[in-house]
């Protein structure tokens, strides 16, 4: 965690690397993962409480000591599995091994003092809304303020609360191999607790069943691990067998392969990414799922218009790079590494990407613009500007959702915004555009 804070390391990559070296049991691996992600997620709240008990202030502590205190307090406040005395004892032992007697004594004193005053660990209710929500649910205050301005105080707090919940496990059925009903039946026969997704006709929620990427169903290409909101994107593209489709920023290939499945593997999908190692991920995904219609290429998406003829694709998916604020619960450190300036910079890139790749769409074709963020500047703001400056394009109508789900999601003139608390899925924006046929 000190490396995440100091060096900007990605928590998921660093944790996976450490866990591989540690050779822990599945139970201990789960606990370690929960401790790391939970401590990063709750950092602002933990620091607020610790600040009153660290005499010289948290900022003056060595990073590893600060991380140790956070980790220990997280166990005390948020985990039932670890007794308080065990959390304190382990923290003191670590401090002795890594530091010296003075540090271990300080760690022991801080944590035991907190335990004695546990009932005083509260967030004042009379704070301004953004400050209160930021402290209560551990988010940057600037980000909470933006969400209040865009969605209102109640929705903003619900989003923050959802970002601290563990995401459900969902898988997408490869319908070229097996039906959803048949796969659900097989899973239940094996003792898994599963239910059909309400968001996607191709999705299954796995309530109990372990790591789905280790199952034979995954290895044999019958399913892919994918969030429910993400599954909606291929449906919005609505590719048909025999079509030519461009996926501009395709890695790691989940939406690409979903389109291939919907096309019954008939037609041609150009799956592009700027990074060669990510292109390889797409290729391996297509091979695992038995999809021969996917052709991988490696270009900067800004240059795609110089590699393909204008108006040469029936469908285009631009799943644009974004701030990622819709997937904070999966990547808890995202909330601490982004800034308002990042949102401005990425929205400028998104607009440029949309402007350039749109030239490749055939008249009457469909272009889907999607992101996994909740920021209007990156979503409806980009689409609105594009349509104002490109009169040969128009909204193509919203993607199809069940009526009860459509009522909960947020619709603008161009697309649909899903917030992370609405369906317990990732935050996503999806807009459908068409190129107007000229006579």
At 22-45, the pLDDT tens digits run 566 777 777 888 899 999 999 999
Q: How far from 268 is each of 242, 248, 300, 435, CA to CA, in Å?
A: 7, 14, 20, 20
Token pair in block for residue 308: 């393909």
Rounded CA gap, 159 and 422, in Å? 9
372 catalytically annotated: yes
160, 140 Cβ separation under 8 angstroms? no
In this structure, what are the phi and psi dihedrals at residue 247, rounded to the nearest 5 degrees? -110, 110
Q: Which residue stretches of 250-325 are H helix?
A: 254-262, 276-288
313-319 vs 410-411, strand pairing mode: unpaired
Whole-model pTM?
Answer: 0.92
Instruction: Using DSSP, state whether 188 is helix, strand or coil.
Output: helix
Q: How many CA atoms lie within 13 A of 79 on its CB side?
A: 25
In this structure, what are the phi and psi dihedrals at residue 237, rounded to the nearest 5 degrees? -65, -35
Position 177 scores a pLDDT of: 97
173: which strand partners?
A: 223
Position 147 scores a pLDDT of: 98
Q: How far from 6 is each of 67, 74, 248, 332, 387, CA to CA, in Å?
A: 11, 20, 33, 15, 42
In this prediction, the residues of the chain whose per-residue pLDDT falls under 70 are 1-24, 404, 439
172, 258 Cβ separation under 8 angstroms? yes
Q: Which residues, at least 6 apart from 392, have a Cβ–Cβ distance to it below 8 Å? A: 435, 436, 438
Position 4 scores a pLDDT of: 47
Q: Which residues are annotated as a binding site for S-adenosyl-L-methionine?
A: 249-255, 273, 300, 319
Token pair in block for residue 226: 């994918």
Q: Which residues are annotated as a binding site?
A: 249-255, 273, 300, 319
Torsion, Cα of 278, 282, 288, 289 (10° steps): 160
Q: Of the listed 160, 248, 322, 372, which one is catalytic? A: 372
304, 246 Cβ separation under 8 angstroms? yes
Rg (CA), the chain: 24
193-196 vs 169-173, strand pairing mode: unpaired
């Amino acid at each position: 965690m000190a490396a995440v804070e100091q060096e900007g390391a990605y928590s998921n990559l660093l944790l996976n690397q450490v866990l591989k070296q540690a050779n822990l049991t599945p139970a201990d691996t789960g606990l370690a993962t929960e401790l790391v992600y939970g401590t990063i997620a709750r950092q602002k709240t933990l620091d607020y409480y610790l600040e009153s008990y660290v005499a010289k202030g948290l900022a003056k502590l060595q990073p590893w000591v600060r991380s140790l205190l956070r980790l220990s307090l997280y166990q005390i406040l948020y985990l039932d599995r670890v007794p308080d005395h065990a959390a304190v004892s382990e923290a003191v032992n670590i401090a002795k091994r890594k530091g010296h007697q003075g540090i271990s004594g300080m760690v022991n004193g801080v944590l035991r003092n907190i335990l004695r005053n546990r009932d005083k660990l509260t967030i004042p209710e009379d704070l301004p809304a953004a400050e209160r929500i930021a402290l209560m649910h551990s988010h940057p205050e600037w980000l909470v303020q933006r969400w209040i301005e865009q969605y209102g105080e109640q929705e903003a707090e619900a989003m923050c609360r959802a970002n601290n919940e563990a995401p459900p496990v969902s898988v997408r059925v490869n319908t070229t191999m097996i039906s959803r009903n048949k796969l659900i039946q097989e899973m239940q026969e094996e003792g898994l607790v599963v239910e059909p997704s309400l968001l996607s006709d191709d999705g299954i929620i796995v309530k109990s069943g372990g790591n789905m990427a280790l199952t034979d169903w995954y290895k044999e290409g019958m399913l892919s691990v994918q969030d429910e909101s993400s599954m909606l994107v291929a449906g919005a593209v609505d590719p048909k067998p025999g079509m030519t489709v461009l996926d501009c920023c395709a890695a790691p290939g989940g939406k690409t392969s979903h389109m291939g499945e919907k096309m019954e593997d008939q037609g041609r999908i150009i799956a592009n990414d700027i990074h060669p190692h990510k292109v390889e991920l797409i290729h391996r995904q297509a091979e695992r799922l038995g999809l021969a219609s996917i052709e991988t290429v490696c270009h900067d998406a800004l240059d795609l218009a110089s590699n393909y003829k204008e108006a040469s694709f029936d469908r285009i998916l631009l799943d644009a790079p974004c701030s990622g604020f819709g997937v904070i619960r999966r990547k808890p450190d995202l909330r601490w590494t982004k800034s308002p300036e990042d949102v401005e910079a990425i929205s400028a890139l998104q607009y440029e990407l949309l402007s350039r790749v749109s030239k490749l769409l055939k008249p009457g074709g469909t272009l889907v613009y999607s992101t996994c963020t909740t920021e209007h500047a990156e979503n409806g703001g980009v689409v609105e500007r594009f349509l104002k400056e490109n009169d040969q394009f128009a909204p193509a109508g919203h993607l199809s959702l069940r009526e009860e789900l459509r009522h909960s999601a947020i619709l603008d003139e161009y697309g649909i915004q899903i917030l992370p608390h609405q369906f317990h899925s990732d935050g996503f924006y999806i807009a459908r555009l068409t190129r107007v046929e000229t006579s």
